[in-house]
Every structure is written in C-alpha cells, then in structure tokens.
Amino acid sequence: MTATHAREPLSEPLMSWHHGRDYKVVHAGPSGSMVFLAGNHRVFMTTTELGHRLEQGLDRMTATEAQEWVALDRSGLLKDTHRSRLASSRYEDGANLALNINLTGACNLACTYCFAQGGDYGRIYKKMDIQTVDYIFEFIRKHVTRSRKVRFEFFGGEPLLNFPIIQEICERSDRIKNEEGISFINRISTNLTVLPDDAVSLFHARNFIVSVSIDGGPATHNQNRPTKSGKDSFAGIMANCMKVREPGDGVTMVARMTVVSSIPSLVENVLELHRLNIFDYFQIYPGVTSPGGTCGGKPELVQLKPANASSPPAKHEATMNMEFLSQLAELIKIYPSMFGNGNRFRGVLEYERIVEMLLEGKMALGFCGGGGTYFTFSPDDSIMPCHRLVGETQFQVGTGATGLTGDTSDWTLPVDTHPICSQCWDRYVCGGNCRQENYIATGSLRGINEDTCRYQQDLLEQVVGSLATADSQ
C-alpha cells in the first residue's frame, strides 16, 4: 500500500528544513534510525523505513507522521535554539581563560608525526624564564573571564625539562588564589620519559590532569615515538606512569593516543593500555599522513607544512588517513564493555564530550577557544592563538610586554558566518573545524580541510548511532 503524504502544511521554518543541514538521519541497524536535530541537539528514534524517507525530505512523511511532527514542533522540541544562542553569546560566557605554557623547545623523543618540528617549532631554542612568568600573570589579571578560573596547559617540547618554572607558576597561583580569588586548573601534556624530583608530589597536591603521550602497546608506541637516539621509549614511560599513579587518586591521568597505523589495531592498542588500569581517560587523535598514505602498515608520515597561501592549494596537502574512521567504528562497538569490572576507566574524552552535548543540549561556540579565551605563551614572550602554530609567526597576536595587539577575528568568527560550515548538520558540535588543520590543508585559517570535516561528522554519527543500543548494553 502506498503511503499517503502529508497534506497538513508544516510551519514555514520546517518547510525549509533540509537533510544534512537542519537534521541528520543516522541508521543504527536492527535498532532503527536516529534523527539528530542540528538546531538543539535532540535525538529522536524512529523506524529504519521512515528514516530512509526522511533522508529525502520532510515532505516524504505520511499525514499521520506529519501530524506527529507538528505536535513535536508545537511542544517546542524542534525549536532551533542554537542559532540565537550563538548570535547572542561571547567566548567569555561561561568559559575559563586557558593558557598554554610552552616551557621549552627541547624534547628527547623523535615522534614520527610531530607538528612541532621536534619540539622547537623551528624557532624556540631556549627555556621559559621568570620574566615570561611575570607577563603570564599580568595577562591573567587583565583577561580572566567571569568564571574567575584559569586553566594552565604545561606544554613544550617536553615541559618536565623545565620543571622549576612549573613549580614557580604553581606557587604564584597559590598566592593569586588567596589574594584575588582566582582559581587554577593544572594540566600537563608530557611524554613522561623524565620525572623530576617532587613532580609526583606537585601533581597530587594540586590535582593535576596528567596527559601522557602514549600511542598504545610497545609495538605501536616504540614505532611512533622513539627516542632521539632511536631507542624504545615505552618501558620507561610506563614505569613513570606507575610512579605518578602510585600515591592514589590525586591526579587524573589521560592516555593521549595518536593513530597512524592499523597494525596493531586501535582497539588492540586501547585495550592493552586499558588493562593496565592506570588511565582515567583516553584521548584519541588521527595522525597526519601523506596523501594516499595507508594505515595498513607503516604510513609515510609528513612534516606539517602549509599549502602555499599565495597560490591555489593542492587538494589533500597533508591530512589524516580515512582508514582511521573504520578503526573508530570498531572502538565504538566495544566501548560500553570498557566500563566497570574494577577498572578506573571513565571514558574517551572525544566521545564523552559529544554525549554531554547531546544529553544537556550544549553547543560549541567554536572548535576551540583559540584567539578568544585560549592563548599560548612561549619562551620568546610571543603570544599565539594556537599552540600548534607557534612556528608560524604571522599569526602572532601579541607579546608578554605589550599584551594582545593582533587581530583575532578569523579565530572567533561564529560557525554560522562560514559559507560551508553554516550548511553542515554537525556545526554546533564541531564549532567550525580546527583552524590549524584548515591552514595546513589549504593555506587559510578559514579554508576547509575536508578530511577533518569528515572525521568530525563521522565521530558524531557514531556516537548518535550508539545511543540506539545503549539501553541493551
């Protein structure tokens, strides 16, 4: 029997809705289909058959289905709330000031995919000193947001090679907190090949988030992240991880994984680290490979050099490997089984962020806070809007002595103002794609790295699809 199409007209705003821009149908196999609404991050479950029709447009609904859709609209469940929230919001609303503290250009590893050209970005050849610390706290007093919270990200090179400055910043933070009521969150991104005296006690006393660059088990990690002399680094890192974890739960430990190969698989590498019961969270990123590089073995890795901005960029100048997406899909399948059974594991941060946005109706004002509430200080006293672009001095937006003097508008333009991003169903979760990855691929911050877009969309689609089977797992 042929379905009767809706005759009762939908409201004018709904008549203009398009699949792939205003909503997205995600098919979840036998569980049915999920309908994700871009404008408020609500998710509705429906039959697979109706899901296929909705992909063709809302006019493919039957009269009964259209009445139900109108009822949802009248109840406010279809309301496009994100657009108006974005238009009336500022980066400072509810956000913490976040400062990336680039402590040194020195690094003792030779990671195959390093975006920092070995740690020094091709120009950072000294350690941060006290003068820059002075500038950092002057900046904090001037730019702290209404939350009165500051998030430090201790970075490098290898930040623990300049541990005295970390200690100095923490001590000053204590004084500022007592005197001015500004509180601090401390996170360090470290390869943990070194562990200075007093580092563990400092981490626990101040509840550090310790993000350890560890790409998986020994086979994967040692291939990706050898020492400068070509030796394996896995065993020493894990020994130091044990030392950091041993005093208890005063720290949050994150396994920060970069994926450039599928042998061993991502699932194998994650489970190998999961079994150690050291890490509270995982972060998982795709490595950058040459165009057409394969994840099926050891891919040809590239140094991150931007396309020539003065000429039309070559397509796929340097990008992620698309086989990474299938590896993510396999990890999503086993994800629910990773919780419980005495393991401290609390989630993959990328997944948990999206789930939080869906459950609480949150949206992203931008892909990150770069140029808005997030800045990087380096040993040369430069201020950059992105830690990945420390080597690209044309993006410098100030100095420690002068404060912010540069134009950050390209960093903070809302996603709805972008001609491509504004038409994407993922826009209020993604926030407009990573500016640095856009620049690497196209030579422009506002260009679009299509492969990164596909990754962001695929990640959201997988999380939405997993909700269909969440109750049965």
Residue type present at position 233 = S
Is residue 74 domain-shared with residue 96, that is, in the same domain? Answer: no
**pLDDT on residue 312:** 40
Is residue 290 domain-shared with residue 354, that is, in the same domain? Answer: yes
Angle subtended at Cα 198 by Cα 210 and Cα 182, rounded to the nearest 5 degrees: 60
Angle subtended at Cα 20 by Cα 85 and Cα 65, rounded to the nearest 5 degrees: 90
Nearest to 203 by CA among 264, 246, 257, 157: 246
**pLDDT on residue 250:** 95
Is residue 62 domain-shared with residue 101, that is, in the same domain? Answer: no
CB 90 within 8 A of CB 31: no
Residue 129 lies in a domain: yes
Residue type present at position 199 = A
Strand residue runs (E) in 103-173: 149-155
CA 66 to chain centre: 38
**pLDDT on residue 192:** 98
CA distances from 301 to 112, 286, 290, 430 (A): 7, 12, 6, 26
d(CA 135, CA 93): 24
Is residue 26 domain-shared with residue 120, that is, in the same domain? Answer: no
**pLDDT on residue 314:** 46
- Number of domains present in the structure of the chain: 2
Is residue 261 domain-shared with residue 194, that is, in the same domain? Answer: yes
Residue 463 lies in a domain: no
Q: Which among 360, 389, 415 is the end of a domain?
A: 360
Helix (H/G/I), strand (E/B), else coil: 234: helix
Alpha helices in 36-103 (DSSP H): 48-56, 63-74, 82-88
- 349-400 pLDDT, tens digit per residue, is 999 999 999 999 899 988 999 999 999 999 999 999 999 999 999 999 999 9
If you compute the radius of gyration of the chain from its CA atoms, what whole number of angstroms results?
A: 23
**pLDDT on residue 471:** 55
The torsion angles phi and psi of 189, rounded to 5 degrees, stand at: -105, 110
CB 407 within 8 A of CB 445: no
CA 92 to chain centre: 19
Residue type present at position 259 = V
- 137-190 pLDDT, tens digit per residue, is 999 999 999 999 999 999 999 999 999 999 999 999 999 999 999 999 999 999
Residue 86 lies in a domain: no
**pLDDT on residue 393:** 93
Is residue 287 domain-shared with residue 166, that is, in the same domain? Answer: yes
**pLDDT on residue 296:** 39
Is residue 51 domain-shared with residue 95, that is, in the same domain? Answer: no
Residue 465 lies in a domain: no
Prior bond to 299 cis, omega within 30? no
Residue 277 lies in a domain: yes
Residue 333 lies in a domain: yes
Domain CATH number, residue 177:
3.20.20.70
Residue 441 lies in a domain: no
Residue 392 lies in a domain: no
Is residue 119 domain-shared with residue 208, that is, in the same domain? Answer: yes
**pLDDT on residue 189:** 97
Q: Which among 360, 376, 392 is the end of a domain?
A: 360
Is residue 112 domain-shared with residue 178, that is, in the same domain? Answer: yes
Is residue 32 domain-shared with residue 111, that is, in the same domain? Answer: no
The torsion angles phi and psi of 461, rounded to 5 degrees, stand at: -60, -40
Is residue 269 domain-shared with residue 300, that is, in the same domain? Answer: yes
Q: Which portions of the chain are predicted below pLDDT 50? A: 1-7, 290-317, 472-473
Q: Which among 326, 360, 394 is the end of a domain?
A: 360
Task: Provide the residue count of the chain.
Answer: 473
Domain containing residue 347: 91-360
Q: What is the DSSP letter of 390?
A: T
Is residue 260 domain-shared with residue 306, that is, in the same domain? Answer: yes
The torsion angles phi and psi of 121, rounded to 5 degrees, stand at: 55, 20
